[in-house]
Amino acid sequence: MPGRRVGLVVHGYPPELVGGTERLVAELGEALAARGETVEVFSGSIAWRPQFATARDEQGPVPVTRVHRHDLFFERWDKLENPLVEAAYLEWLDRFRPQLVHVHHWARLTTTLVRAARARGLPVVLSLHDLLASCPRYHRVKADLSFCEVPPSPEACRNCAPRWRFQGDEEIDASVRAFAADLRAEVAAADARLAPTAGHAGRLLSWLGLSVPCVALPPASERALSPATRPLGARRATPADPLHVGAFGHLHPLKGVEVLLDAQAALPDPRTVELHVWGAAPEPAADAALRARAAERRVVFHGPYAPADLSGAPLDAVVVPTLCAESYSFALDEACALRVPVLATDLGALRDRATDRVHLFPRGDAGALAAELQRLADDPVLRDTAAAAPAPSRLGAAGHLRALMAVYDEVLARPAPPASDAGQRAAADDARARRQHAFLLREAGLRELLRSEGWEDVVARLSAENQALKRPG
């Protein structure tokens, strides 16, 4: 029934941040408002402030309250929990008084969002967009780029979780325990959980050690791209007439473009495959490294792009070489919308969603990818057969919204969670004040430690990283 008050909680929001989750939440907010719901957004921000602050933005169709943190390196895993954010969040809940809260992320906010809302007597829907809840590195990809398959624990994370050189094992172990306990409790406390695929839900809940229901609800995806032009046609690839292969997305090392470049180099004759790469690297040095890796081979870097730029591209095939366990992959939808064969990593949602149009290769295995590229280069019939096979299923915006409204309706039909009484609130306020005191003491100590190590240079690097994060993913 329209007319409800719905609060959306997310780690970033357009126009400041325009990644996949941020865009999804913005589109959801506008769709709910168009239905007659009263919607507000509580959002994190990448913009650091010298003093903790919140800012209300009513310029768009949905009012947004943004939190600006004042602590250093607030993107780090061991600084997710923040009692100042929790206090601002509770003030927002008390002012807006939503009937339902839909939490989409904890990053840049705090790890108490679900439980704090339920303590106010509010039902909470939680979307599990990625793997943060199970990994201090966010993506379960280790520093050596191997993939982690074990639950979070001090033993598993002690030598993997990022740390300052002045942090010992005892502090890291304590932080890992708090991180894992907080996020496990958050996921368990939600009235309903959503995940982009059933496979993603199963993996994440298994790593958290939870046996709770989770609804598989793919994000709205209606990529309408013109088919690629397939310049090679029905011919075998030769040095004079190569196979044109595309890859696109954010050119971060975790997205695996290096694997594709290495696969091209491993071909018997690299001239038989021409690579076309769309996207931006996170920083100039990373861009230079990619170009150096391409050497003098046939590689065209197209730079930043919008999905519409891919329409009708001169491609015979697409590769999705990511090293991450993607939870859905809009890149896969874009690739399949071009109606060409797709080669993709055998991990996460790419494996969950694969059809005969999508051939999987072992994660990070440039040699195996080279063999698959050679097969496509040599066999026009194989290319035609794969291109004609069904693409992975997608859910349009209307279908996604209908399914989400059914979840909202079901949650709201249940008895509301019990709100904390006056005594419980007073105890919670006292505990939060103590956590704020401890947090501020720890932050002051961190500032002094960093100052002694030349922290101005460290902050300059952080600022550059933050600018890179603002770019579309």
Q: pLDDT tier at 442 (50, 70, 90 boundaries)?
A: confident
pLDDT score recorded for residue 455: 61
For the stretch 127-175, pLDDT in tens is 999 999 999 999 999 999 999 999 999 999 999 999 887 889 999 999 9
Residue 470 has pLDDT above 60, yes or no: no
Cβ atoms 61, 88 nearer than 8 A: no
pLDDT score recorded for residue 112: 96
Measured CA to CA, the distance from residue 458 to residue 228 in angstroms comes to 45
Residue 453 has pLDDT above 80, yes or no: no
For the stretch 171-201, pLDDT in tens is 999 999 999 999 999 999 999 999 999 999 9
**DSSP letter string, 213-273:** --EE-PPB-----PPP--TTTTSPP-SSSPEEEEEES---GGG-HHHHHHHHHHSSSGGGE
For the stretch 367-415, pLDDT in tens is 999 999 999 999 999 999 999 999 999 999 999 999 999 999 999 999 9
Length of the chain in terms of residues written: 473
For the stretch 43-66, pLDDT in tens is 999 998 989 999 999 988 899 999
CA distance between the termini of the chain: 35
Residue 17 has pLDDT above 90, yes or no: no
Residue 463 has pLDDT above 80, yes or no: no
List of domains in the chain: 5-220+398-469 (3.40.50.2000), 243-388 (3.40.50.2000)
The maximal CA–CA distance of the chain, rounded, in angstroms, is: 79
Residue 343 has pLDDT above 60, yes or no: yes
282-317: buried (b, 16+ CB within 10 Å) or exposed (e) per residue?
A: beeebeeebeebbeeebbebeeebebeebbebebbb
Cα–Cα nearest to 101, from 36, 21, 42, 19: 42
Q: How far is CA 212 from the centre of its chain?
A: 22
> In the predicted model, what is the mean pLDDT of residues 263-287?
95
Q: How many CA atoms lie within 13 A of 368 on its CB side?
A: 12
Q: What percent of the chain has pLDDT over 70?
A: 95
**DSSP letter string, 435-473:** HHHHHHHHHHHHHHHHHHTTHHHHHHHHHHHHHHHTS--
> In the predicted model, what is the mean pLDDT of residues 73-96?
94
Residue 465 has pLDDT above 70, yes or no: no
pLDDT score recorded for residue 472: 42
Q: What percent of the chain has pLDDT over 90?
A: 80
Measured CA to CA, the distance from residue 20 to residue 15 in angstroms comes to 13
Residue 37 has pLDDT above 80, yes or no: yes
pLDDT score recorded for residue 104: 98
